[in-house]
Structure 1
Amino acid sequence: MSIDLRLQEKAKAIRLLIMDVDGVLTDGRIFYNAEGIEAEAFFVRDGFGLRMAKQAELLTAILTGRTSGAVTHRAKELGISEVHQGALNKLEVYEMLLHRHGLTDEAAAYIGDDLNDLPVLNRVGLSAAPADAAAEVRAQVVYVTTQAGGRGAVREVIDLILKAQGRWEQFVET
């Protein structure tokens, strides 16, 4: 089976998409003003992709080691109810998500960019990393996006999944 067919088969089986935040949903930079208030930037097309995923009944979840009010706000805006921040053991939270939704590893996808994402990336059915992820991560995932973190990587993975599942056409019909 060719790599493209293998990737398509993996994407077709996905029911849950889990994403890291820093370096995946954002470009990894954190801004602080003079008062120490934090701000992060999110890419609009990633957000639109997450809305498409929801419309296509794909479950979505955020799994991040940091805690940020900006992430809480963005997740609420996008209707992502599974938000797990401050997760020191991402694999433990991942296993809880699978159990909660009655899914297997093959039905889950994860997008991560750094070494702390590897335990989950090595378990999921479809592992993905942004183009600018750590080299060690890019070497171990099934799919490396052409887009960078915070610049369309999440949207690219969602598009891949929706196309593999035959759900893409509903979004491009005029």
Structure 2
Amino acid sequence: MAFFKEELKKIRAFVFDVDGVLSRQEVSLSPEGELIRTSCAKDGYALMYSGKKGYILAIISGGGSPGLEERFKKLGIKDIYLRIENKVKALEELISKYGLKPEEIMYMGDDIPDYNVMTRVGLPVCPADACEEIKAISKYISDLNGGMGCVRDVIAQVLKARGDWMDTSCYVKSM
């Protein structure tokens, strides 16, 4: 456990998949056929808070819609890669942009499309309901399912390890 805490202290960047991580695994369809995703408000708060504390936040997802991008922008996420076929290439762009080392990156994914990108970061993590192949390569498996607080779980752990949690002077306005 002490080694894991030391790994948490190295994290400068949080990267997340969307479906099954920031949203639940089930998806509803609008009458027009657009995907309707649900998200956890506490995950949103943790994302906004960590951004205000100076952490790099990114989304790398094969999915996408105008509503998704708008939501992430409102949360303060600047690096949004949607409709991505090659997640490793997107990660490499992010690494180059910020001069990151793999051990400074936490990536949370839940399914096979996340596998290759998760093997290239220092801290691969997943929600409780991730597929077995992703659980096998994760250094941490949240007790919470995708879209149900798993993002807040991992962000809070990193910020607590780095002494950045519970800064009540770090104002985060509601959306």
TM-score normalized by the length of structure 2: 0.93
Report what 1:136 is aligned to.
133
Matches for 1:131-170 after TM superposition, within 5 Å: 131-170=128-167
Map residues 76-155 of structure 1 onto 2, 5 A cutoff: 76-155=73-152
Tell me the SS of whatever aligns to 2:58: strand
Report how far residue 35 of structure 1 moved: 2.5
Whole-Å separation in 2 of the counterparts to 1:150 and 1:67 = 16
The corresponding residue for 2:3 is: 6
Q: Given that residues 105 and 123 in structure 1 are in contact (C-alpha distance below 8 angstroms), is that contact kept between their aligned partners in structure 2?
A: yes
Bigger fraction of residues in helix: 1
For structure 2, the 5+ residue unaligned runs are: 171-175
Residue 50 of structure 1 is matched in structure 2 by: 47
Partner AA of 2:5 in structure 1: Q
Q: Deviations over 1:42-100 (max 9, x none)?
A: 11000011011112111100000112222112101101110001111101110110010
Distance 1:140 1:19 in 2: 16
**CA distance in structure 2 between the partners assigned to 1:106 and 1:37 by the alignment:** 37
SS at match of 1:170: coil
| Equivalent residues, number | 170
Q: How far apart are 1:19 and its partner, in Å?
A: 0.2
Structure 1: tracts of 5 or more residues without a match: none
Q: What do the CA deviations read for 1:80-124 (whole angstroms, capped 9, x no partner)?
A: 110001111101110110010011101111000001111111111
Identity within the alignment, % = 35
3-state secondary structure, aligned to 1:118? helix
Quote the residue 1:16 is aligned against: 13
Q: Is the 8 A contact 1:56 1:167 kept in 2?
A: yes
Distance 1:172 1:8 in 2: 25
1:115-166 CA distance string (max 9 Å, x none) = 1111111111111000000011111110000110000010000001101101
